Chains A and B, each alone.
Chain A
Amino acid sequence: LKEKHKILHRLLQNSSSPVDL
């Protein structure tokens, strides 16, 4: 599932503040 949701996956793995999209 995470392969189809690369951005969500990146947001989840990002360890700091909300990602700039």
Chain B
Amino acid sequence: PESADLRALARHLYESYLKYFPLTKAKARAILSGKTSDNAPFVIHDMKSLMEGEHMINCRQMPMQEHRRSDVGIMREVELRFFHSCQSRSAEAVSEVTEFAKSIPGFVNLDLNDQVTLLKYGVIEVLIIMMAPLMNKDGTLISYGQIFMTREFLKSLRKPFCEMMEPKFEFSVKFNMLELDDSDMALFLAVIILSGDRPGLLNVKPIEDLQETVLHSLELQLKTNHPDSLQLFAKVLQKMTDLRQLVTDHVQLIQLMKETELDWCLHPLLQEIMRDLY
């Protein structure tokens, strides 16, 4: 394709990205560095601040249960409520990623079963990539940037909750060193979604053709946008290998939680995605 077409594709995907994803990297980095006129985020660093900030996370849907009124019981409930709210937000984010996928030229013309497969296998990878701009080495923004939750607090939760986020921090700190901006991210997300090697795809060729065009667009974009960053295109693509391992580990952890946490019930949309995934 001509470079003008590739640039138009990049512009189109960037516009979709801005339309469907409420918290951009530019905004997240402004919040994290204090360079915004908005209020600084509320910091959650322990159980007390989690309870104080709960109303901002909108995680009070689960009623307090009568049989657990001890301090330990209340803390377990606060943790569970927090992870339920994370699930609700994840389900919303899946919906946003779906709209973004549908905006990729040619996606909605693919076999409908293949559209389902691409989303099923791609969406958690996309969500992990989208988490990276919200994170720094010390913590992560949540609730659309209203809250900063510290990495140490997440590590201090009981098992297996404490194991959920640490691998994402390790990945994100390295991924953020590539310094992609929102327009680069939009193309990279489309590349991830259009992976022709997902299990069970019926018609791989049109998916690979679409991905090839987006890859050309990403390569051109990175060369233009980051002229001094050597081999950036290759470095970005290498992250896709790390992502698959992260998703496999994440799904195993969720399965473990389903078995060990009596109060744990997985959001139906997330259940659909994770059932028979890897």
Contacts and interface: CB of A to CB of B under 8 A. Distances in A.
B33 to A, nearest CB: 29
Interface residues of B, number: 25
Interface in B88-108: 88, 91-92, 94-96, 98-99, 102, 108
B273 A8 contact: yes
A6 B272 contact: yes
Interface stretch (B52-60, B115-123, B189-197): B115-123
Contacts of A5: 116, 120, 272-273
Contacts, number: 53
A12 B112 contact: yes
A6 B98 CA distance: 14
A5 B273 CA distance: 8
A9 to B, nearest CB: 6
Interface string A1-14: 11011111101100
A7 B268 CA distance: 8
A21 B20 contact: no
Interface residues of A, number: 14
Contact of A4 (B98, B268, B272): B272
Nearest to B202: A1
Contact of B113 (A1, A6, A7): A1
Q: Interface SS of chain A: helix, strand, loop or mixed?
A: helix
Nearest to B107: A12
B48 interface: no
Nearest to B273: A8
A18 B112 contact: no
Contact of B95 (A2, A4, A9, A18): A18
B269 interface: yes
Nearest to B93: A18
Interface string B183-224: 000000000000000001000000000000000000000000
B275 interface: yes
Contact of A2 (B92, B108, B113): B113
Contact of A8 (B98, B99, B267): B98
B102 A12 contact: yes
A7 B20 contact: no
Interface of B: 20, 88, 91-92, 94-96, 98-99, 102, 108, 112-113, 115-117, 119-120, 200, 267-269, 272-273, 275
10 contacts: A2-B116, A6-B272, A7-B269, A8-B120, A8-B272, A9-B116, A11-B95, A17-B99, A18-B20, A18-B92
